[in-house]
Amino acid sequence: MTKFKYAFDNKRYHTWNYYLRNTFGEKVFKVSINAGFTCPNIDGKVSFGGCTYCSKEGSGDFAGNPKDNLIKQFDDITQMMHKKWPNAKYIGYFQAFTNTYAPVDILKEKYETILSLDNVIGLSISTRPDCLEDDVVEYLSELNERTNLWVELGLQTIHDSTSKLINRGHDYNEFLKGLEKLKAKNIKVIVHIINGLPGEDYNMMMETAKAVANMGVDGIKIHLLHVIKDTPMEKMLQNGMLTLMNQEEYINLVCDQLEILPETMIVHRLTGDGKRDELVGPLWSLKKWEVLNAIDDELKKRNSYQGIKYNK
């Protein structure tokens, strides 16, 4: 088979590394920051308790220490990364909680602090579709004119019954409204989905991937549901309301999802991360590279690649 044109080496999907290397011509890595935000379904605006799978770090388990200011967080992480990549450039990654859930003047202060640092060539801002006020979107549009901007938008599932079960706090229609606001300003969007949510079968998870395939978005993050200690999701697991996916199921599903995504869509993530000492399961997810290699092997075995079954 001919080499897949949007990836290096043996990859058969459009890798984030390929995009970065072709766009900037050098090593670029994300610097994960915890800017001290919260979420509307934590502080009571929408709900309390947050999404049932969310850790106490607000899905920013590997971000900087929120007790430190943004510059110290940034410096601590980049110094560690420099041991491996001494001459890299950076994308400031506002990862933990909901990073547009504040007045614009506060957002500006935080974003511009990171953008002003040496060798920062972009921002990636993780948020929810119900936290995109018009003035925030206007500011994002202005940012988009002067830096490499990505907005990461949590969808998780298109199925409203699941969204209610996981206390997502918005429905699919609200997601689509938020997405359209960003697309209208030509802002690059990464959509997050989660495989293995309670009550969802193979067909439901494929339906979510098919929906994302036809959204006209620029990137996708495919997550494995991993259960963290002291979350409502752990209680669901203990009460028999959730069955964890096994590795073979997950690998086959991800390959099926990749096959129906357009080849131009950048794949930013293919599995989930959890801290070893806080992870309840599935424990096989700790072997991240084993999972990624197995996805490569399965696509090769099928003689397949991203987009081979894409149907707009």
CA dihedral over 277, 278, 283, 288, signed as positive or negative: negative
Going residue by residue through the chain, which has 312 residues, state the pLDDT in tens, using 9 for 90 and above.
557 888 877 799 999 999 999 999 989 999 999 999 999 988 888 888 888 888 765 454 556 677 889 999 999 999 888 888 888 999 999 998 999 999 999 999 999 999 999 999 999 999 999 999 999 999 999 999 999 999 999 999 999 999 999 989 999 999 999 999 999 999 999 999 999 999 999 999 999 999 999 999 999 999 999 999 999 999 999 999 899 999 999 999 999 999 999 999 999 999 977 788 889 999 999 999 999 999 999 999 999 999 999 987
pLDDT score, position 3: 74
pLDDT score, position 2: 59
DSSP letter (8 states) at residue 145? H
CA dihedral over 68, 73, 76, 80, signed as positive or negative: positive
pLDDT score, position 60: 47
Q: What are phi and psi of 119, to 5 degrees?
A: 65, 15
Q: What are the structural domains, with CATH classification, of the chain?
A: 16-302 (3.30.750.200)
Contact between 223 and 269 (Cβ < 8 Å): yes
pLDDT score, position 269: 95
Contact between 95 and 59 (Cβ < 8 Å): yes
- What is the distance between the alpha carbons of residues 264 and 257, in angstroms, rounded to a whole number? 14
pLDDT score, position 59: 56
Within 10 angstroms of residue 78's Cβ, the number of other Cβ atoms is: 18
- What is the distance between the alpha carbons of residues 297 and 274, in angstroms, rounded to a whole number? 24
pTM, 2 dp: 0.94
- What is the distance between the alpha carbons of residues 179 and 151, in angstroms, rounded to a whole number? 10
Q: Which residue has the tokens 């900087």?
A: 64
- What is the distance between the alpha carbons of residues 268 and 79, in angstroms, rounded to a whole number? 23
